[in-house]
A and B are shown apart, each in its own frame.
Chain A
């Protein structure tokens, strides 16, 4: 898995690629906590180059979503979620907890 982050005026973008599983999910948690620890709670995830995500990744997203949504100060939104990953998120009932956008730029514009 590779993670890059971009800071925009109104939000942060986290671009993930490769595979998120129990081995790599801690890296995602660390990145997200780095952003929220800096007092920024509006995060758009660009998942277009993500190949795979297990429930370890769902767990990382859920935990940070709680932090971001507290006091209505922000949220994590998901963009360009690949079909297979979207199916797994739907199966886990996660699509109701995250807004999703087809286009990462559109996601940034949401904030």
Chain B
């Protein structure tokens, strides 16, 4: 298990992707899965920076990578406004260009790329987003 606390800003997305990517690589995930995990972690972090820490410049984002058997569990914790990405409606992917909305796309990708995505919020422990990817899973 390894844990890093990042300053919640977009400049750290590179490092966040490297951190989860390194862990996934050590676990023997395929290149396709590693890309998926990095993209999901990026979208999740972007949501936290944009929504939970909207207007906050010194927020913190803690990322915990746990390896449980063949599973990679990524736990992201922030102490900003509660923002439940799992409550965001799915975007209409059949809408034409003029009606296409970009909101919710990040969450949609996270759900598609990972095997499990869940969210919890409490005043004591902050907001926790948990994503699981199984090695060899469908996700």
Mark A residues whose CB is within 8 Å of B.
19, 21-23, 52, 54-56, 58-59, 62, 65-66, 69, 84, 87-88, 91-93, 97
Contact = CB atoms under 8 A, between A and B. Distances in A.
Nearest to B107: A55
A92 B46 contact: no
A22 B10 contact: yes
Contact of B46 (A19, A21, A65): A21
A54 B49 contact: no
Q: Dominant SS at the A interface?
A: helix
Given A58-B105, A62-B100, A87 B32 contact: yes
B114 to A, nearest CB: 12
12 contacts: A21-B10, A22-B10, A23-B11, A23-B13, A23-B14, A54-B13, A54-B106, A55-B105, A59-B102, A66-B97, A88-B109, A92-B109
Interface stretch (B36-44, B52-60, B74-82, B121-129): B36-44
Given A22-B13, A92-B108, A54 B42 contact: yes
Interface string B3-35: 000000011011001000000000000011001
B46 A93 contact: no
B97 A88 contact: no
B42 A21 contact: yes
A23 B15 CA distance: 12
A84 B93 CA distance: 19
B109 A91 contact: yes
Contacts of B42: 21-22, 54
Contact of A23 (B10, B93, B94, B106): B10
Nearest to B16: A21
A92 B39 contact: no
B32 A97 contact: no
Interface in B103-125: 105-106, 108-109, 112-113
